[in-house]
Structures are given as C-alpha cells and as structure tokens.
Amino acid sequence: MEIKHQLNYILIFMVFSYNCAGLSYKKLSRQNPEKLIAMQDSLLLAHGESSDLINALVFAHNHVGTESVSENNYMKASNHFLQALELNDQDTITRYNLFLVEGHIFLEKGNKNGLWDGMEKYAHASSLRPDLGEPHYWIAQIYIKIGDTDFDLILESYEKALSLTMDQALLSRVEKGYNETIKRKNKLDKFWK
C-alpha cells in the first residue's frame, strides 16, 4: 500500500511539474521570447513536441518576427516566421505575417517584376485575413511605385483598406495616402483641362 501512495505522489508531482512547465513556456514566450528561442533545440530534445512548448515557441518566433518588421528588418522577420511555420505549418497568423514580409522585401527591392510578385504576396495575405486592411495599403504602395499616376488602382486599394480593420497608426497612414492621392489626381485633372 505504501508503494502505491509513493507512486501516486510521484505521478502527481510529475503532472504538476509538466503543467507548470507549460505555463512557464507560455510566460517566457511573452516576457523574454529571445531567451525561449535560444533554448528551443534543448527544450525540444528534452520535452519532445508538447503542444504547450510548440505553441510557446510559435508565439515567441511571431513576437520576434513582428518586432523585426517594426524595425524594417524583413530578413530577420522572415527567418522567424519560417521557423514558426516549421513548428506549426497550420498557423494562419504566421503565414499571414510571412506573406506580408515577403511582399515588403519585394517592395523594398523595387524592380518591376518583383513589385508584381510583392503584390501577389499581399494578395495571399489578404486571402488569409480578409478582415484586415493592411495588405491593401501595401498594394496601394506597390501601385504608387509602379506608376504613381494610375489613380484608380491606387485609390481603389486605399478604399478597400479603409473599409477593413487596422490599427490606428496604419489608419492614419492610409488616410494620409488616400488624401494625398486625391489631391494629386485633382491637380493632374486640372492641368489637362
């Protein structure tokens, strides 16, 4: 009977330890994602592919990738989104972010064929999250870079973006771009009259 109790205590301790580890992975992914990523290989070897660990690692890679996007470090962001997809290839947020970053890379390069490839990446992002306006803002930026007098396509992209969800900072940029495009269109129309 005593051995049975000891085994029960050991089992309870193991379950408790496992649950705490799952919580600590999640906590670490939010508080110090770089540290969790640095331990990724060791953790995967030690704990296998537990869903708590995988989810925490995907979150950490997405967090670092998103921070890298805000710093315009698209290659680093792409690397983290790709690593997150290696862990969970079904994660829609990661796929969306990767499509945006790949579009940004093409937009930054600026060659005409690359711009069309970038537009395709933004369209893929939009298909994954049709409720978000950000891909349409970037499509407008591509149209501007291709030829800034194709006002109908530029305005259509801005209008689509404005009809969808986005954060306040992006909304301000979209509104500013839209208003500037209207002014340029009106100025050009007046010139030709």
Return all residues near 129 (Cβ < 8 A) that are at least 6 apart. Answer: 92, 96, 135
> Is residue 161's pLDDT more than 90?
yes
What is the structure's pLDDT at 6?
A: 56
Report helix angle 51-70 to 40-47, nearest 10.
Answer: 170
Say how many domains are in the chain.
2
Mean pLDDT of 124-139: 98
Answer yes or no: are the C-beta atoms of 124 and 92 closer than 8 Å.
no
Residues 31 and 100 in one domain: no
Answer yes or no: are the C-beta atoms of 160 and 135 closer than 8 Å.
no
Q: What is the pTM of this model?
A: 0.84
Residues 78 and 162 in one domain: no
Beta bridge partners of 165: 132
Return all residues near 76 (Cβ < 8 A) that are at least 6 apart. Answer: 64, 65, 68
Which residue's entry shows tokens 């969800």? 165
**Number of neighbours of residue 38 by Cβ within 10 angstroms:** 12
**pLDDT tens-digit readout, 94-115:** 999 999 999 999 999 999 899 9
Residues 53 and 64 in one domain: yes
What is the structure's pLDDT at 20?
A: 42
CATH number at residue 117: 1.25.40.10
Residues 104 and 177 in one domain: yes
Residues 112 and 170 in one domain: yes
Size (the chain), residues: 193
Return all residues near 188 (Cβ < 8 A) that are at least 6 apart. Answer: 149, 151
Last residue of a domain, one of 90, 115, 136: 90
At 89, give phi and psi (nearest 5°). Answer: -75, 0
What is the structure's pLDDT at 18?
A: 42
What is the structure's pLDDT at 147?
A: 85
Q: Determine which of 9-13, 29-33, 56-60, 156-160 has the lowest per-residue pLDDT on average.
A: 9-13
What is the structure's pLDDT at 14?
A: 40
Residues 85 and 118 in one domain: no
Average pLDDT value over all residues in the chain = 89
Residues 41 and 119 in one domain: no
Mean pLDDT of 133-162: 95
Residues 75 and 102 in one domain: no
Residues 101 and 193 in one domain: yes
**Which domain range does residue 84 map to?**
1-90
Residues 14 and 86 in one domain: yes
Residues 183 and 103 in one domain: yes
Nearest to 106 by CA among 59, 74, 80: 74
Residues 35 and 99 in one domain: no
Last residue of a domain, one of 31, 65, 90: 90
Last residue of a domain, one of 51, 69, 90: 90
